[in-house]
């Protein structure tokens, strides 16, 4: 993710557009190679963070694209592993040295203290000086980078994706039009959506679906956590093989001006997350793991198709349950706002045949109000869904 000072955009009236890097621009290709080589050299020579930052600063110099260079370096750094350990405990080392020179703080006594401590540890004085503040973040030493093969193309694409993700941290609301998505890809996208704990609704439209997501600036609390969840969700959208277009309202600058961000599949961005199917939240994993040991005839299945709620919305259930020709579905709701939850339950009341159950978290309310006990087939949980309550709800609403 890019920090606020590294985001490059263009604004015009009510629109905001990321300043994407062109993957075939010679200057960008050259500086990307330089940065990858620089970090490779840093690994070979075990540079400190401070030395790395100094080298990147020198590389960017007074160039007009210095912000892009620093942004590319940030992308590489996010993949790096740094060593935080030292052969000589730095706090213990500082305590010994400071106590030895406290009564007579002179250059001569300091040199004598360094020499004595170095002798005790069996190393030279330079090693002692190197280890003295090795627990400071700037003194951490780089161990490896996670830049994959074909690193230049990966780096430029990852930077362009990060520009969008960083803007989504300031998102108020987001809409995605999905054109004729396959059932498999649709389930994958919504499992990512639920795994991230995002508040969503989806509506059927001619030729596909429209997905609505609440942004972090629409919440009264949990906004930082929710913003990161939304930003980390975006690469899952890039896994869609069908055409799509995203529109997001971004609160820009300290004045929180509303700007519209538009992104579509025509940009050709690729996802850096592995296309391994679909994530599962820990809550849903626990439920599936426990279900087989329960004394119930209800069979659990993840192969749930989207449910059209009378043309007003669409729900992609987390699970479907089957018994004796009867079926019921379960949607697990993580982070929520009162208005969103009321709207969802209103939709369920009008939904026929009404065989959908909501499991609502009592811990992740995205508003200050306490959770109201809404009527209907709604069950509440903190960490683990109460299976007794769920089975009772299934028995009542299945058809």
Tokens of 237: 């959208």
**Residue ranges in the chain whose pLDDT is less than 50:** 371, 375
Sort strands 81-83 and 141-144 into parallel, antiparallel or unpaired.
antiparallel
Tokens 């706002």 -> residue = 337
pLDDT score at 219: 76
272 alpha-carbon distance from chain centroid: 12
- The answer to whether 164 touches 99, Cβ cutoff 8 Å, is no
pLDDT score at 354: 76
- The answer to whether 284 touches 318, Cβ cutoff 8 Å, is yes
d(CA 246, CA 375): 34
Q: What is the pLDDT of residues 246-270, one digit of tens each?
A: 999 999 988 889 999 999 999 999 9
Give me the phi and psi of 40, to 5 degrees please: -65, -40
d(CA 116, CA 105): 16
d(CA 114, CA 99): 12
Residues in CB range of 80: below 8 A, 6 or more apart: 39, 142, 143, 144, 145, 146
Length of the chain: 399
Residues in CB range of 291: below 8 A, 6 or more apart: 300, 387
d(CA 20, CA 347): 40
pLDDT score at 276: 63
pLDDT score at 390: 93
Exposure string over 335-356, b if 16+ CB within 10 A, otherwise e: bbbbebbeebbebbeebeebbb
Tokens 């030292």 -> residue = 86
pLDDT score at 364: 65
Burial bucket for residue 199 (CB in 10 Å: 0-12, 13-18, 19+): buried
DSSP 13-42: TTEEEE-PPPTT-HHHHHHHHHHHHHHHHH
pLDDT score at 347: 74
Helical residues (DSSP H) of 253-362, grouped into ranges: 282-291, 338-350
* H or E segment and range at residue 251: strand 244-252
Q: What is the pLDDT of residues 341-356, one digit of tens each?
A: 777 777 777 776 678 8
């Amino acid at each position: 993710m890019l920090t606020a000072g590294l985001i490059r955009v263009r604004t015009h009236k009510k629109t905001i557009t990321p300043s994407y890097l062109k993957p075939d621009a010679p200057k960008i290709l050259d500086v990307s190679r330089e940065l990858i080589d620089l970090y490779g050299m840093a690994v070979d020579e075990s540079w400190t963070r401070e030395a790395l930052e100094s080298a990147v600063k020198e590389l960017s110099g007074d160039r007009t694209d210095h912000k892009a260079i620093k942004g590319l370096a940030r992308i590489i750094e996010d993949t790096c592993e740094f060593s935080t350990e030292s052969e000589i405990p730095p706090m213990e080392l500082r305590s010994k040295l400071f106590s030895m020179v406290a009564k007579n703080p002179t250059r001569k006594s300091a040199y004598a203290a360094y020499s004595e401590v170095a002798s005790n540890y069996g190393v030279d004085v330079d090693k002692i000086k190197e280890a003295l503040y090795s627990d400071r973040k700037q003194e951490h030493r780089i161990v490896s980078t996670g830049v994959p093969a074909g690193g230049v193309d990966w780096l430029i694409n990852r930077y362009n994706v990060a520009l969008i993700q960083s803007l989504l941290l300031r998102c108020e609301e987001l809409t995605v039009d999905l054109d004729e998505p396959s059932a498999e890809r649709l389930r994958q996208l919504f499992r990512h959506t639920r795994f991230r704990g995002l508040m969503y609704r989806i509506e059927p439209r001619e030729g596909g679906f429209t997905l609505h997501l609440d942004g972090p600036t629409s919440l009264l609390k949990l906004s930082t956590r929710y913003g990161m969840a939304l930003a980390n969700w975006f690469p899952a959208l890039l896994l869609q093989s069908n055409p799509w277009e995203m529109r997001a309202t971004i609160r820009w600058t300290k004045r929180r001006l509303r700007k519209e961000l538009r992104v579509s599949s025509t940009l050709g961005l690729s996802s850096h997350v592995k296309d391994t199917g679909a994530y599962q939240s820990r809550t849903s994993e626990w439920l599936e793991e426990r279900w087989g040991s329960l004394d119930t005839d209800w069979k659990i299945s993840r192969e749930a198709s989207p449910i059209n709620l009378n043309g007003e919305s669409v729900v992609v259930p987390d699970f479907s349950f089957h018994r004796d020709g009867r079926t019921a579905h379960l949607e697990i709701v993580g982070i929520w706002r009162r208005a969103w939850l009321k709207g969802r339950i209103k939709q369920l009341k009008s939904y026929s045949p009404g065989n959908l159950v909501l499991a609502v978290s009592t811990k992740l309310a995205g508003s200050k109000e306490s959770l109201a006990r809404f009527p209907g087939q709604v069950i509440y949980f903190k960490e683990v869904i109460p299976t007794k309550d769920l089975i009772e709800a299934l028995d009542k609403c299945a058809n």
